[in-house]
Structure 1
Amino acid sequence: MNDVSRREGNPARNGAVFDPAEASRALGLTLEEFAPLLAKAAEEIRCRLDAVRQGVAEEDLRAVALNSHTLKSVVATLRAEAVREAAIDMERSAKAGECARCAGMLVCLEECVAELLAELDRV
């Protein structure tokens, strides 16, 4: 999926980036049980995004793929679809050896993550 279709067609761009009630329900947790996990998730998301940035800067596509994959898994648990899709795109590009494309996609990934982190901070 390209950046334009993601922004136009992704429900997260047209509404909530993250729905804590839906995410907690999907895990079989109450909101009270789920809330403490969000700080850990936010910490991991920041860590993985930093690692992706470093991998892109160093043209280390193996690191980009690994950290994009891990980021994808963390945000999938939260049902944060925009970040998940951006991470999938980044991982695929890294695995395909598309260094320049990864560098270009980093802005989209950073924007999606920033929106998610802002939502997580509000919960």
Structure 2
Amino acid sequence: MGLGIDLLGFGIFMWTGLVVWQANAVSSTLSITAVYFLVTRYSFRAHSQVFTYVVFVAWYGCSIVAFSVLIQYATTASDWEPMVWKLLSVPVSFAINYIFSRWLFRRGGTGIASTGPVPAQLEP
């Protein structure tokens, strides 16, 4: 869902005339709030908290700025379309952001959102 929001938003914002870094920054920012709620609940089974939301948004904000600059630079330095560079950046940004999110929402481990041991799971 987050990727869909991000790519669709990027395309729309480019079409409306935003420069590459602006289109990426806006589309990525819109997608991270949706992703936060999906990641906490379904991927990591963590509870949404203001603190983890702030840390999550701060991390993703830095990531968005870094990738926006890289996409803008790559587009300016080449004659490739901005969407090509955006698509090429996705696997790298996903991997980096997944590792961070996994650390942030680790249950029962040393992640920042850890609240203690994970309850024992009964096997079927």
The structure whose RCO (Cα within 8 Å, separation 6+) is larger is 1
TM-score (norm 2): 0.38
